[in-house]
Structure 1
Amino acid sequence: MDWIRSVRLLRAATIGVSLSLVGTAVAQDAEPDLKTQLRDFVFFVNVHQAEAAAGTANEILGLGMTPRELLEFVEEAGLEKELDEALGKALRRDSLEPIAGRILTMLSDGRLQRARDPDEIERNIDGLVGGLRERLYSRQRLKAAGEYAMPQLIDALLQRTDIQLRTQVQRLLNESGRASVVPLSVSLMEIDPAAQEQVVNVLGQLQYIDAAPYIAELRDKTLSDPVRNACERALDSIGASGSTGELFRQLAEAYYDEREELTSFPGEDMQLLWNYNPSIGLIPTAIETEVYHEARTMRLAERAMELGAQGPSALGLWVASNFSREIDESAGYDNPAYPPSMREAMYYAVASGPVVSEMVLGRALADNDTRLARRAVDAIERTAGPGLIWDRSSGQSPLIAAMTYPSRRVQYDAALAIAASHPRSGFQGDQRVVPTLAGAIRFAGTSYALVLTEEEEQYRSIRRVVEGLGYQVLPFGRQVSEIAEAIAETPGIDLIVTQAAFGKTEPLIQAVRSRPKLTAAPVFTLVASNELPRLRRVFGNDVSVMIRSFGINEEAMTAGMTELVDTASGGVIEADEAREFALRSLFALRDLAVAQNQVLDVSDATTSLISAMNETTGEVRLEVAEVLSRIGRPSAQAMLAEASLAASGTERIDLLGKLAGSARRFGNQINGVLVEQLVELSATGDDDEATAAAAVIGALGLPQSEMVRLILAGQ
């Protein structure tokens, strides 16, 4: 910082300020005022002294000023133009871009704070009837205020005492674009007919489809011919057709898709919901952006259902949006659009029945929304009977499609839901259910990652980080096509990491997404810093893609990958969750075997279950043995015999019990060597083991001579 002070003195000298030696000492010790700091920042940027510019910028930001205070100081000091130019230069330099961005954001926030100040809005509305310059200034500020100005603007529009002001406000609203559409629309049903006609005319001139359902509802309910005629003209101008309920449903769909044009304040933490009370006026309610679109979707879907939208589509949209609200809502948030009197989202999903939940699942699969898909499958499993899927003429359903979805969690959930419904007739895809359940037993706890880089050295560096997170990483490849065989052989890809040359990242991600097995996998992408802003805009709404700069360290890379996988797919499948999947799958297979289900043949899992006997321990291993004991194949019974003989203690006794169960159901299917070993065990083992082995011998139906031999051996 001493160097910065020295440069300040040098700069002062170059513009003709002479300092005495004493004055110099005082200047070095004194803290510069804000105006000096701002001028210094501009100077350091212009003379390419990045370190000094960054230091000065940090001093400015460290003063603790509000954005509006900083903005108004800059304006009063007459530094707007030169500061804007300096910030523009700083943003083009890697070393200054972050700090310059913070100052620019503060100034932008300051302009918004001032424009949205109700007192400022009131002054600007009054200015609409001032002189030419004042009118232009006021119009500019009111447009900048956007929706925040609407309560006062509507009051000014509806008042009847100042005709000139009303005319100027209507002119402003006609030019204000989308910002006025929702506030004007929600007020329509609550204002008097003369005001309704006036507002409808404004909405018709704006020509936004967002207003159509509100205008259509007014057309259907009004008793005023002039209002009805105005509504018809406005709907023709907008180009809207269809029933009012359907128009509300279509608008709800647009909000569910989170279309950019329906986000009033992009990049901000809060949005506004609007209501109109005749005694108060237009009432804004702030809501977190993360749940704004869900709130609008649910409100519009409710109107669609109230107005008789045909079929279950509006209800399915409401249920899907309610799940999404629950997913996106931050912990502890008091959502103004979802009061405590409302129940959890699952309550409404299961109450709506499995057909609606399948609609939600279909929407989730189409959107690659893994978290929503899992909730939808859960709701289906709780309510579906055997006729949900296979009684359909097409033989297809989202639940079947979910078994090929890229997330293994969704695959396992779907297979479990189908198994729980105990289908009575075959359907397209039924052959995948049992193998999927068997895969959950063996592979749920193993995570797989794909790393795509230009060079093998980059691959090795990234692979080390990814393996540190517990993933098994596939072989090196620059493109997906180079390792297609390895991808096909894995149960699923849980993370993709890419590092491509300039201009190649977007095509690479498109190639990744074109592969059915990779469409929903989380993608962590490392790019050059000059590509970062553009690619973040391109993928900004995709929670399954995270863009980071080449230069981040391992700690930041690890944190980013973990955050991405947590957000996009619920995190890696940890040991406890893998065990839960394994046990649920085993219970499902057991129940199918007990029921002797003719559609889902448990014997298709024999090979996987035999392998699982060598890979599992404890409760899971015993449940594997239980399922094997219900499969009438010699290989299943032989594995039970081998496992029993190789085990010891209580596990041996338990496994002998499973073997005895197999023998009771299917008779003797094992060879003489194993039988001899079992007979030997029954003769030489301790009491509990010997008795368990003897039960096996009895169940196997061995000749009486074997029993005589055992009796004689005991004397």
Structure 2
Amino acid sequence: YEKLDQHSSLIAALNYPDRRVQFAAATTIMQLDPAHTFPGATRVIAILTRALGGEGKQAAVLVDSSIPRGQTMAGLFHELGYETQSTQTGMAGFKAATARMDVEFIALEYNIMRWGLSQTIANLRADSRTANIPIIIYGPLRLKNKIEYATRHYPLVQYVVESENTEDIGTQIRPFLNSLKTPELTGELRSEYRSAALYWLSHIASSQRSRIYDLTPAEKPLLPLVADRNLAANALITLGGIPTRTAQADLVTIVTNKTMDSDVKEIAALQLAFHIQKFGLLVDSKNVASIREAYQTATDPKLNTALASVMGTLMPDNKVVGERLQEFKPTTPLP
């Protein structure tokens, strides 16, 4: 199949302005099931996460030879919702944009150096990884017409008048960025995208592909999806593959929920046991006490068995205890 590198058309499609094209590229890559890391893995997760209803991580790369001015612009973009990486040269900005693969736009100060503005734009447009990423050039009002004329042959380029006001910058860049996106999905198609995205995220969580993809950015929208019985299983499986305390706490929340259906709680309990075995016990003693109470009060046989597996991860058997004691080395001689 197509090699997933900087020349790949699939990698380029991950940054195409049309979000339907992005989603198609992400799911195609998942079907190819690459066995090794590739440029764009973080972008795949961001696209799948966005389909769940979360926005995913939005990032920008900024190039400005002036550190103070660059920090000011980065702060403005951050306030607009973009995690912004600042660089000081055109070459450094190019390297940052091609390395991240989660970039929504690239901001260039009009007078950048090493490379200059024209060379930087030419190189960004020549590389498939950045060919479709919108470029925003900022500078004084007096240069607007001149720079727009000089960059007229390049697609997806917009000049904005520099400002230290967030609202002013937002007013200039939002119409440009929004015009490049297709309307948000609605109704049945949105549900189909959400189900497909959740399927692929759970596939990553339950396979050995977690070394290729970091699922952590997908965590936030998962817990609310458990309320939908059609999505609950894959949402819980995905939570089970995210190595964070908050993911483990979310699984505890489901397991100890007295109004949740038993079959959903059973899946959550099995994922919680798996999570503790793989990543260790991350929740506090209060959570442990609530798990124990849920186990003691469970009347559904399958749920009780699943909760017993969780209790087993909390209470090591005699063999494990013996091994741990043998590993203990006293720091002072025994009397």
User: Given the two structures, how large is their TM-score scaled by the length of structure 2?
Assistant: 0.59
Q: Name 2:320's counterpart in structure 1.
A: none
List aligned pairs for 1:436-455, cutoff 5 A.
437-442=44-49, 444-455=55-66
1:499 correspondence with 2:109: yes
1:474 correspondence with 2:117: no
Distance 1:615 1:416 in 2: 19
SS in 1 for 2:267: helix
Are 2:74 and 2:84, in contact at CA under 8 Å, matched by a contact in 1?
yes
1:561, distance to aligned residue in structure 2 (A): 0.9
Match of 2:11 among 393, 398, 403: 403
Are 1:523 and 1:545, in contact at CA under 8 Å, matched by a contact in 2?
yes
Distance 2:119 2:105 in 1: 18
Q: Name 1:524's counterpart in structure 2.
A: 136
User: Given the two structures, how large is their TM-score scaled by the length of structure 1?
Assistant: 0.31
1:565, distance to aligned residue in structure 2 (A): 1.0
Q: Name 1:604's counterpart in structure 2.
A: 209
Q: Name 1:561's counterpart in structure 2.
A: 173
Question: Structure 1: which 5+ residue stretches go unaligned?
Answer: 1-389, 594-599, 703-715
1:642, distance to aligned residue in structure 2 (A): 5.8
Are 2:39 and 2:99, in contact at CA under 8 Å, matched by a contact in 1?
no
1:619 correspondence with 2:237: no
Distance 2:94 2:223 in 1: 33
Distance 1:571 1:463 in 2: 27
The alignment covers a number of residue pairs equal to 287
Deviation per CA, 1:367-389, whole angstroms, max 9, x where unpaired? Answer: xxxxxxxxxxxxxxxxxxxxxxx
SS in 2 for 1:520: coil
| Alpha carbons of structure 1 residues 404 and 642: separation in structure 2 relative to 1, 3 Å | same
SS in 2 for 1:451: strand
| Alpha carbons of structure 1 residues 613 and 525: separation in structure 2 relative to 1, 3 Å | closer
Question: Structure 2: which 5+ residue stretches go unaligned?
Answer: 313-335
Deviation per CA, 1:230-269, whole angstroms, max 9, x where unpaired? Answer: xxxxxxxxxxxxxxxxxxxxxxxxxxxxxxxxxxxxxxxx
1:494, distance to aligned residue in structure 2 (A): 0.9
Are 2:64 and 2:112, in contact at CA under 8 Å, matched by a contact in 1?
no
| Alpha carbons of structure 1 residues 427 and 491: separation in structure 2 relative to 1, 3 Å | closer
List aligned pairs for 1:483-494, cutoff 5 A.
487=97, 490-494=100-104
Instruction: Percent identity, please.
Output: 12
1:657 correspondence with 2:266: yes
List aligned pairs for 1:452-467, cutoff 5 A.
452-467=63-78
Are 1:406 and 1:519, in contact at CA under 8 Å, matched by a contact in 2?
no
Match of 1:586 among 176, 181, 198: 198
Are 2:138 and 2:161, in contact at CA under 8 Å, matched by a contact in 1?
yes
SS in 1 for 2:198: helix
Deviation per CA, 1:331-354, whole angstroms, max 9, x where unpaired? Answer: xxxxxxxxxxxxxxxxxxxxxxxx
Distance 1:531 1:468 in 2: 26
**Aligned amino acid, residue 135 of structure 2:** V
Q: Name 1:269's counterpart in structure 2.
A: none
Q: Name 2:252's counterpart in structure 1.
A: 645
Distance 1:469 1:632 in 2: 32
Are 2:49 and 2:197, in contact at CA under 8 Å, matched by a contact in 1?
no
Which structure's relative contact order is higher, taking Cα pairs within 8 Å and 6+ residues apart? Answer: 2
1:540 correspondence with 2:152: yes
| Alpha carbons of structure 1 residues 445 and 434: separation in structure 2 relative to 1, 3 Å | closer
**Aligned amino acid, residue 119 of structure 2:** P
**Aligned amino acid, residue 657 of structure 1:** E
1:452, distance to aligned residue in structure 2 (A): 1.9
**Structure with the larger helix share:** 1
**Aligned amino acid, residue 251 of structure 2:** S
Structure index of larger Rg: 1
Distance 2:293 2:96 in 1: 47
**Aligned amino acid, residue 57 of structure 2:** T
